[in-house]
Structure 1
Amino acid sequence: MKHLKYGKTYLLTILTLFSFIWVNTIYSQQHNNRTDQIINEGWFFQKGDISDAEKENFNHSEWELLNLPHNWGWETAEKGDKKYYRGPGWYRKKLHIEPKTGRRYFLRFEAVGYKAEVYLNGKNIGNHMGGFGAFCFEITEHLNAKKENILAVKASNEFDNSIAPLGGDFNIYGGIYRSVHLIETADICFNLTDHASSGIKWLQTDVSEEKAVLDITAWISNSTDKGLKFNHFPKELNETLPDGLFDLEANIYDDKGNLVVSKTHQINLSPNLTIPFKLQLHIKNPHLWQGTIDPYLYKGVISLKSKGKTIDKISQNIGLRSFNIDPDKGFFLNGKPYRLKGVSKHQDRKNKGWAVSNKDLEEDIALITEMGANALRCAHYQHSDYLMDLCDKAGLLVWSEIPQVGSIKEHDDFVTNSRNQLLDMIRQQINHPSVFAWGLFNEVHVSRNDPHRDFVDLENLASVEDPTRPTVAATSHYASPQMNRIPDILGWNRYPGWYDSIENLYNPTQWDKYQPTSQHGGFCFSEYGAGANIEHHEQNPNQPVPRDFWHPEEWQSIVHEASWARYSQTPYIWGSFVWNMFDFSAAKRREGGQEGINDKGLVTFDRKIKKDAFFFYKANWSKQPVLHITSKRHTIRTSAKTPVKIYCNISDAVKLKVNGKTISTAKTNDFKTVIWEDITLKKGKNRIEVSVKKNGKTIKDQTIWTFDPNAKSLKPEIGIKDRIKGDGGFGQ
């Protein structure tokens, strides 16, 4: 039996940003000689391309005063305006900094949508192309000694065919929509400007229950004249010279703060160079990171010292784990079977666009873990580092990807920017134990631009940057079979029951033909699902037409019930990712009785209502007790005969009462579902009650349905046309 492994095992770490406050504060975090301030307050903003706005003496007093995070475009895009504003906007802010001798200063932007020009005191200090990764510029040489400095940022979400994404069923907003940091360090520090990474990379050579071997690379930036000069040459090859001699120290602590292992290495720096240094640590009998079962985290601390004094220090969380994918048996975590039960999410939220808070992200992860998911696909671009921190702590395995969506361009600017987006993602997220794969593309269609060279180069780059993780891609077609074999592993975006016939889910051999489409065999479902408007209800519905008005919530549940029943019983399908965890905005959509919304989410766009399908997965995936009557929102019924369907994981015996009369006690099926067919309702209000007994206690759920044969349904009077074969919707 062939087993597919990546690297050997993985140790990954997390940059600890949990205590940062998102808005309305300037928060200073100090580690010895390093301070990190979030400077989100007091920015002036003006939409449009403003002449001379970068100049130091420009008058911005009439501009809007606001706090970050901030973005534009969502205001009309969420309402279905396909011509929502895509253009430039300017931000300006006064920075009060008194430069100190022997100190360095940096600006780090967590993200700007989707390209940025940054000016300090009228001088351009750097530009960034791409709306999802962080970037960092040193400003030490550009600061005014008089303390007041003028920071100006031009952001733009104007379409640019040199920047991915060039397509996709989601909106592109503009603005500084994540936090901005002002960082002060000593004149010798861990490098901050290498694609805004921490300057520290943790990789593992071997991890098992018996041992963990950790390979650490620390990039140290020396802006001084200290260190070995060109004419220095040791008398002996192993001689260390006192000029530029420092200690590089690595410590690992357990979750109680006890030191587990420590190593110190003497290093020589060279003047005005940034140099990588390596250390190796060994841990005996490590406590492994076991996903949602036990997301155990160590703390790793890397320190640069001189004569016992700490010059710079980085603390990061570390998770130790290994995985492999068997093309016939599926996904294994730390040598044990571990089916990925995943969801996907976009980063937008109703009435906020991309400018979400840490609290918003915490709510998202809480909903995902409540449902019992153990994996997350961050679609279709790099998500925030804070979200990765939350996933590390929750034990969610993460598929992180760059925004190569729909199409690509072969010209040099696009290739360069795509390469930089991949480097941003990998170097910023490489130390997160949650990330298990680097995504290269999603549903790219072969047309006039040939993607093969670009994707092979990206795959090679990812493998060199991080030999411990596989590359992955999501496809939806056979048009270019070799393109699908470029990444190490493959996901298929298929929608049986929505864009395809639901009959595909009832054929046990339907997916056999997909198995050889990947490089090594086996695949996951990277997207599947169906739309649902919580105001649309129909009992025993037929399959809707995706682009039409009618998206009954009941049909979404039927699709997910059939999908999970099939995927979970097919070993070579190593994982599945529901599309989508949350409804999201897609300005070009006109369907499901809503404009500008993709309604395939299991939770509404505002995160306030969990659809019935959410409870189906919670009953099957979570250990939390579930007893849920479906179709509660279908409060007005026009037929006296109705099914009653419930999801339950508390007991396999569920009692149904209608208007106080016991109907029967029924057994749940293998997927925690019970259906009573043809229950008769009386005219007027009907009380539906289900109950189970657990440990001597009775647990109940109930609802009221009103039978009114004269009530009018939201469903159009004209019969919905048959689904047109090949109606693939967006991207299918």
Structure 2
Amino acid sequence: MIKKLLTTIICLMILHVGYGQQARRLNNNWEFLRQDLGGIWESVRPVTQGNPESVPLWKTVTLPHCFNASDAVDPDVNYYQGPGWYRTMLDIKNPYADGRTLLHFEGAGQKTDVYVYTTKVASHLGGYDEWTADITEAVEAFKKTEAYQKQFKGKIPLSIRCDNSRNLETIPSQLSDFNVYGGLYRYLNLIYQPAVAIDKIFATPTLTNTFKTGWINVKGNFYLPKQNGHVNGGVKLTDAAGKTIASDNYSINSVGSDKQPLSKLEISRPHLWTTADPYLYTLQVTATANGQTYTKTEKIGFRNFEFKEHGPFYLNGKRLLLRGTHRHEDHAGVAAAMTEEMMKREMQQMKDMGVNFIRLGHYQQSRIILNLCDSLGILVWEEEPWCRGGLGGTAYQNQARQMMTNMIEQHYNHPSIILWGLGNENDWEGDFPEFDKQKIRTFMKEQNDLSHRLDSTRLTSIRRCDFCKDIPDVYSPSIWAGWYRGKYAEYKQVSQDEFNKVDRFFHAEWGGDSHAGRHSENPEGFLDIKSGVGADERLGDASLKGGDPRVSRDGDWSESYIVNLFDWHLKEQETMPWLSGSAFWVFKDFSTPVRPDNPVPYMNQKGVVERDGTPKESYYVFQSYWTEKPMVHIYGHSWPVRWGTTTQQKTVKVYSNCDEAELFVNGKSYGVKKRNSQDFPAAGLRWQVNLASGNNALKVVAKKGKVTVTDQITQTFQTQQWGKPAKLVVEQIADDNGVVNAQVKVLDSNNVQCLDAANWIDFAMAGDGVMLDNMGTSGGSRKVQAYNGRATIKLDTKKGKSILSVKSPGLPTVFLNLAGK
């Protein structure tokens, strides 16, 4: 009960930041229809006429909610793109005389229309920026109708139509490597505010060269739809302990809606915001008019940053290597409709891995994410969703301008943000018959100028558009050494070459795919990859067919290979003093419509955690380079069976940030190794060991100063050789109160597990239970490639009787009877 109360208090506090005093999330009591209506009357008719045979049929949902929570990764269909409707009843009781009643959308995809009863009150185009619908007049008008009292019993019918239909004249492009989701997939808030209120605060902290004195220049936009009168107000800055350290008053005789100067506060010896110490101040601005006071608060921070020309990055005068990743708003089971708690867990996972920088790809993300970046100490590159396809017409360009404006104005106060991204892969043509580089350059310059006009304190950036690389302040070329082209050992030289071509260089997007649970004894034994051909991604490289030999097509997609690739990049980055930083692609696996043939269909599997947040082995490689808290991890927690002969020595790798580590196998010490980041692989923490046939207990003891940390796993060592896959065998391996985990193995004709088998596996289920599939994970997909001759799926038996079937092309289908307890 106490935990629930604290959670409620925290949520209310978060709602206060940026809102007025009266705001609440509209999460419950919604109905949803995934299709279009014949007209708005169909949404309200059942209540008005009381017809029990009314169609279509709606289902109950809670917000946030995404159309594509399941079908985004359904292996058998393309994800739904079209209209969908939401409806609910609101109890409107605005406490302010002549006040305004607003609906604040934190994001809805992609085109949204809002209705009160049958009156359309607002429309918005753009799936990622925030926007507000003022429903005041429509509510008051409906309250005067007979239907308000009789059929709707004093409630206000609200209907919302979201539409993510394909449209070439909107951004982002449907050629983008991510789903363009539909729905009310971010929080929707009901807000009551006085007739005069503050719409936005623009707080600009600045510092002297010595960082000993700071100023905050405060401007504000006012929301006053009915008047242009006198406003008095106050500005107050408090520190993290709640102590007031600066304050001021302002008075405006004639309030306008444009940015108006409110105050300039001076602060002596400000506590600087850093990635290790993300110190935040609270800025409170009040506005009083007609006897009513509105209060708005923002978190701000003092920090100075510089991308040195032809050099590294500096934060508050000290060099900081940006250790970054990327993020899509996507999660198993909910798609884009991530709850605040999900976001907190994900961002904390990043911080625990050592991330100090993130590029939010490829659109404005939830205010919750930006708040977390502020409080956790993660610097941000945020970008507008002009992604791939070329350049559209007037409406297309107007949408891009508006979304750039909204992104900058809505996220202006976040100290974590240092870069405004102008777009992504704008050299990728395909949406229009014309692909005119000069027109793209012209519009890119326009967006660059717009960004600087809206915010002169931050820099602009873009990734992969070489014919525009001279336009933004910071440029990132395409470098995928060891994945889409070339070998990972070429990374440093290729990066140096690209660094020399621009004034300010950053490396966004590198890495590769890995199928969670797939491991290899010889991860680099695939087709020989050419050296000296560059490391950029070119058209068709992401395909699994055709083109030049490349790891992305010809490799085994094992976790074993990808840890080596990451390991090499990280150890090289420690020897590149000119490097500003990098951001690997991507922190978490995410769904995409352009990769139906991947081992988990419709998933980009480049994450270091799976789509549900389960860490892969590569997570710990980054942790071993980027964190200070002592950690140690034996490679192979998700590798239950290794293979070979008893005469072969096997490499055991340990990833740790400790000074030294000692490995024990079946109780026998294999000695102490010293960590040396330049001793590839595993920074020298690797041992050649003799594994016994059968089970082997591995344990490592690592020390960092006076702190000791340990890790241990058990692995089976299979010495039997296997032949061609001949059969499947399925078994139940766990049961958690009726939720069963089933595993299928691929065997040869002698019942030996085929540990290199990558057969396609199809699960199906009949009976009382349900299969927990369409998660986009290696253990949550009904169609998936085997990993080391096995695959798993979870099933909720509902404590009844069910039958699981498993089939694979060319092999006999097998069945498993599941009887509930």
2:61 equivalent in structure 1:
66
Q: State the superposition RMSD in angstroms.
A: 2.7
> Identity of aligned pairs, percent?
27
1:261 equivalent in structure 2:
246
Tell me if the contact between 1:26 and 1:40 (Cα under 8 Å) persists in the aligned partners: no
> What SS does the corresponding residue of 1:443 show, helix, strand or coil?
strand
Aligned partners of 1:30 and 1:322: how far apart in 2? 24
Judged with a 3 Å threshold, the aligned counterparts in structure 2 of structure 1 residues 542 and 57 are, in CA distance, closer, same or farther, namely: closer
Aligned partners of 2:600 and 2:360: how far apart in 1? 25
Match of 1:663 among 670, 678, 681: 670
Matched AA of 1:708 = Q
- Alignment map for 1:229-628 (pairs within 5 Å): 244=230, 246-269=231-254, 276-291=260-275, 293-306=276-289, 311-445=293-427, 447=429, 448-450=434-436, 451-475=440-464, 478=466, 480=467, 483-505=468-490, 508-518=492-502, 521-542=503-524, 545-547=551-553, 550-591=556-597, 593-608=599-614, 610-628=615-633
1:728 equivalent in structure 2:
none
**TM score, norm. by length of structure 2:** 0.76
Say which is worse superposed, 63-72 or 97-106, in terms of deviation.
97-106
Aligned partners of 2:185 and 2:413: how far apart in 1? 23
Matched AA of 1:468 = T
Say which is worse superposed, 545-554 or 490-499, in terms of deviation.
545-554
Unaligned runs of 5+ in 2: 1-6, 48-53, 145-153, 527-550, 721-751, 760-821
* Aligned-residue offset at 1:612: 1.8
1:128 aligns with 2:124: yes
Judged with a 3 Å threshold, the aligned counterparts in structure 2 of structure 1 residues 31 and 102 are, in CA distance, closer, same or farther, namely: farther
Matched AA of 2:143 = A
Judged with a 3 Å threshold, the aligned counterparts in structure 2 of structure 1 residues 20 and 114 are, in CA distance, closer, same or farther, namely: farther
Tell me if the contact between 1:422 and 1:462 (Cα under 8 Å) persists in the aligned partners: yes
* Aligned-residue offset at 1:213: 1.8
Aligned partners of 2:396 and 2:493: how far apart in 1? 41
* Aligned-residue offset at 1:52: 1.6
Match of 2:698 among 661, 673, 688: 688
Judged with a 3 Å threshold, the aligned counterparts in structure 2 of structure 1 residues 377 and 503 are, in CA distance, closer, same or farther, namely: closer
Judged with a 3 Å threshold, the aligned counterparts in structure 2 of structure 1 residues 658 and 714 are, in CA distance, closer, same or farther, namely: closer
* Aligned-residue offset at 1:164: 0.9
Aligned partners of 1:165 and 1:542: how far apart in 2? 37
2:803 equivalent in structure 1:
none
Judged with a 3 Å threshold, the aligned counterparts in structure 2 of structure 1 residues 54 and 327 are, in CA distance, closer, same or farther, namely: farther
1:175 aligns with 2:176: no
Aligned partners of 1:644 and 1:27: how far apart in 2? 46
* Aligned-residue offset at 1:522: 3.3
> What SS does the corresponding residue of 1:363 show, helix, strand or coil?
helix
Aligned partners of 1:138 and 1:592: how far apart in 2? 45
Aligned partners of 1:277 and 1:356: how far apart in 2? 37
> What SS does the corresponding residue of 2:556 show, helix, strand or coil?
coil
Judged with a 3 Å threshold, the aligned counterparts in structure 2 of structure 1 residues 33 and 68 are, in CA distance, closer, same or farther, namely: closer
Matched AA of 1:607 = G
Aligned partners of 1:595 and 1:320: how far apart in 2? 45
* Aligned-residue offset at 1:29: 5.8
Aligned partners of 1:260 and 1:549: how far apart in 2? 59
Cα deviation digits, residues 699-729 of structure 1 (max 9, x gap): 43222222222254443599xxxxxxxxxxx
> What SS does the corresponding residue of 1:647 show, helix, strand or coil?
strand
* Aligned-residue offset at 1:82: 5.8
* Aligned-residue offset at 1:136: 0.5
Judged with a 3 Å threshold, the aligned counterparts in structure 2 of structure 1 residues 294 and 393 are, in CA distance, closer, same or farther, namely: same
Matched AA of 2:101 = Y
> What SS does the corresponding residue of 1:462 show, helix, strand or coil?
helix
* Aligned-residue offset at 1:330: 0.6
2:651 equivalent in structure 1:
643
Aligned partners of 1:20 and 1:456: how far apart in 2? 45
* Aligned-residue offset at 1:301: 0.5
Aligned partners of 2:18 and 2:320: how far apart in 1? 38
Judged with a 3 Å threshold, the aligned counterparts in structure 2 of structure 1 residues 275 and 431 are, in CA distance, closer, same or farther, namely: closer
Tell me if the contact between 1:619 and 1:648 (Cα under 8 Å) persists in the aligned partners: yes
Judged with a 3 Å threshold, the aligned counterparts in structure 2 of structure 1 residues 497 and 33 are, in CA distance, closer, same or farther, namely: closer
Matched AA of 1:445 = D
1:105 aligns with 2:101: yes
2:39 equivalent in structure 1:
52
Aligned partners of 2:441 and 2:19: how far apart in 1? 48
Tell me if the contact between 1:288 and 1:321 (Cα under 8 Å) persists in the aligned partners: yes
> What SS does the corresponding residue of 2:388 show, helix, strand or coil?
coil
* Aligned-residue offset at 1:81: 4.7
Tell me if the contact between 2:20 and 2:296 (Cα under 8 Å) persists in the aligned partners: no
Judged with a 3 Å threshold, the aligned counterparts in structure 2 of structure 1 residues 501 and 713 are, in CA distance, closer, same or farther, namely: farther
Unaligned runs of 5+ in 1: 1-17, 192-198, 228-243, 719-732
Cα deviation digits, residues 236-259 of structure 1 (max 9, x gap): xxxxxxxx3x32311111111111
> What SS does the corresponding residue of 1:420 show, helix, strand or coil?
helix
1:154 aligns with 2:139: no
Aligned partners of 1:28 and 1:379: how far apart in 2? 25
> What SS does the corresponding residue of 1:216 show, helix, strand or coil?
strand
2:789 equivalent in structure 1:
none
Say which is worse superposed, 583-592 or 354-363, in terms of deviation.
583-592
Tell me if the contact between 2:207 and 2:302 (Cα under 8 Å) persists in the aligned partners: no
**Could you say which structure has the greater relative contact order, defined with CA pairs below 8 angstroms and 6 or more residues apart?**
1
1:15 equivalent in structure 2:
none
1:87 equivalent in structure 2:
82
Cα deviation digits, residues 535-576 of structure 1 (max 9, x gap): 211123117642468311010100001111223322332111
Say which is worse superposed, 54-63 or 633-642, in terms of deviation.
54-63
> What SS does the corresponding residue of 1:564 show, helix, strand or coil?
helix
* Aligned-residue offset at 1:80: 3.5
Tell me if the contact between 1:691 and 1:698 (Cα under 8 Å) persists in the aligned partners: yes
Aligned partners of 1:27 and 1:396: how far apart in 2? 19
Aligned partners of 1:592 and 1:677: how far apart in 2? 33
Tell me if the contact between 1:31 and 1:312 (Cα under 8 Å) persists in the aligned partners: no
Tell me if the contact between 2:570 and 2:625 (Cα under 8 Å) persists in the aligned partners: no
> What SS does the corresponding residue of 2:121 show, helix, strand or coil?
strand
Matched AA of 2:273 = W
Tell me if the contact between 2:130 and 2:406 (Cα under 8 Å) persists in the aligned partners: yes
2:143 equivalent in structure 1:
145
> What SS does the corresponding residue of 2:620 show, helix, strand or coil?
helix
Cα deviation digits, residues 50-94 of structure 1 (max 9, x gap): 112357743277421222111112412213456211110111122
* Aligned-residue offset at 1:288: 0.8
Aligned partners of 2:93 and 2:602: how far apart in 1? 48
> What SS does the corresponding residue of 1:440 show, helix, strand or coil?
strand
Cα deviation digits, residues 577-609 of structure 1 (max 9, x gap): 11111111123324553211111111111112x
Say which is worse superposed, 358-367 or 79-88, in terms of deviation.
79-88
Tell me if the contact between 1:504 and 1:510 (Cα under 8 Å) persists in the aligned partners: no
**TM score, norm. by length of structure 1:** 0.85
Aligned partners of 1:581 and 1:654: how far apart in 2? 28
* Aligned-residue offset at 1:263: 1.2
Judged with a 3 Å threshold, the aligned counterparts in structure 2 of structure 1 residues 26 and 523 are, in CA distance, closer, same or farther, namely: closer
1:722 equivalent in structure 2:
none
